[in-house]
């Protein structure tokens, strides 16, 4: 393997029960306000692709029992959140509640932004992050793009988790210090984009291994590096799934706190 791999954010999958896939596609089209680009039957199951109004693409994926990477067994949201941007949180939550879609109370993040969780199709937890700069641009959409900080993970030891993510994923801690609020912000080496929240969990929080329905993915573009990374993680004693797929290939692994991290490669 030539050089250390670079883990880059590249979107992700929102999982849907295979027997309700068409219903799930329609749910996201209607309630998110997303435009359906296409659907596909792939070697690893069904997929649907939506154009996010503010840029980017959201992807649905069917659960598949025969693939460890996509099995619905041991489903658990855990302390892993995949975050999306909404232009007006109050209006979005009012719409979802009117449609009998469960929502949490709003909360404030350490950087001052406001957010909330919603329970999407199939009981998948999605986290909304408000960005008022987008207000009025996409009036037909409740969720307009990925959040500026799309990954939020709960950990038991904040400093130990920061060290692990710096060592294993090559991320770097932000110079903005949120430790007094129980958070750390991580990003790309060089500071181009800071996009991963780590949150110190209270001692009473349950320790569970996450297999959530909303799954952020990192991409490793070089195929050889991608496969070598899976082997290297396994050699380090990190729990890792077998890669699955053909032209698109993915696997997942777990951090010491049970947060599931996903990686894909495609060509």
pLDDT at 192 over 90: no
pLDDT at 59 over 60: yes
pLDDT at 2 over 60: no
3 located within any domain: no
Look at 1-10, 37-46, 118-127 and tell me which has the smallest mean pLDDT: 1-10
Q: Is 0.85 surpassed by the pTM of this model?
A: yes
Mean pLDDT of 204-221: 94
pLDDT at 222 over 70: yes
Mean pLDDT of 212-220: 98
Average pLDDT value over all residues in the chain? 96
Virtual CA dihedral for 151, 154, 160, 164, nearest 10 degrees? -40
96 located within any domain: yes
Look at 108-122, 151-165, 187-201 and tell me which has the smallest mean pLDDT: 187-201
Supply the pLDDT for residue 118.
98
Percent of the chain predicted with pLDDT > 70: 99
Mean pLDDT of 245-255: 97
Measured CA to CA, the distance from residue 236 to residue 229 in angstroms comes to: 11
Q: How many residues does the chain have?
A: 267
DSSP string, the chain: --S----EEEEEEEEE-GGGHHHHHHHHHHHH-PEEEEEEEETTEEEEEEE-TTSSEEEEEE--TT-GGG--TT-B-TTEEEEEEES-HHHHHHHHHHTT--BPPPEE-TTS-EEEEEEEGGGEEEEEEE-GGGTTT-TT-S--EEEEEEEEEEES-HHHHHHHHHHHT--EE-SS--GGGTEEEEE-TTSS-EEEEEEEPPTTS-----B-SEEEEEE--SHHHHHHHHHHHHHTT--BPPPEESSEEEEEEE-TT--EEEEEEE-
CATH number of the domain that 91 lies in? Answer: 3.10.180.10
1 located within any domain: no
DSSP string, 200-214: EPPTTS-----B-SE
State the residue range of the domain holding 163: 8-266
pLDDT at 3 over 90: no
Model confidence at 1, pLDDT cuts 50, 70, 90, reads very low
213 located within any domain: yes
pLDDT digit string, tens, across residues 27-53: 999 999 999 999 999 999 999 999 999
pLDDT at 190 over 90: no
What's the domain count of the chain?
Answer: 1
Mean pLDDT of 79-99: 98
16 located within any domain: yes
């Amino acid at each position: 393997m030539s050089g250390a791999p670079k883990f880059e954010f590249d979107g992700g999958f929102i999982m849907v029960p295979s027997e309700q896939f068409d219903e799930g596609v329609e749910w996201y089209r209607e309630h998110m306000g997303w435009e359906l680009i296409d659907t596909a039957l792939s070697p690893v199951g069904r997929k649907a692709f939506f154009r996010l109004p503010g840029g980017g693409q959201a992807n649905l994926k069917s659960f598949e029992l025969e693939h460890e990477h996509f099995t619905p067994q041991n489903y658990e949201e855990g302390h892993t959140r995949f975050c999306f941007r909404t232009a007006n949180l109050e209006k979005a939550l009012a719409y979802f509640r009117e449609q009998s879609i469960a929502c949490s109370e709003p909360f404030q993040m350490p950087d001052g932004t406001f957010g909330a969780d919603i329970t999407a199709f199939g009981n998948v937890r999605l986290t909304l992050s408000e960005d008022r700069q987008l207000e009025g641009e996409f009036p037909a959409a409740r969720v307009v793009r990925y959040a500026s900080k799309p990954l939020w993970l709960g950990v038991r030891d904040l400093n130990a988790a920061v060290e692990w993510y710096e060592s294993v994923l090559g991320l770097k801690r932000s110079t903005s210090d949120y430790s007094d609020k129980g958070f750390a912000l991580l990003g790309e080496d060089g500071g181009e984009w800071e996009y991963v929240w780590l949150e110190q969990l209270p001692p009473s929080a349950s320790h569970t291994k996450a297999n959530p329905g909303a799954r952020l993915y990192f991409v490793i573009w070089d195929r050889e590096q991608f496969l070598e990374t899976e082997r290297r993680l396994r050699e380090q004693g990190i729990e890792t799934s077998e890669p699955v797929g053909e032209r698109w290939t993915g696997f997942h692994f777990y951090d010491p706190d049970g947060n599931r991290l996903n990686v894909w490669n495609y060509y």
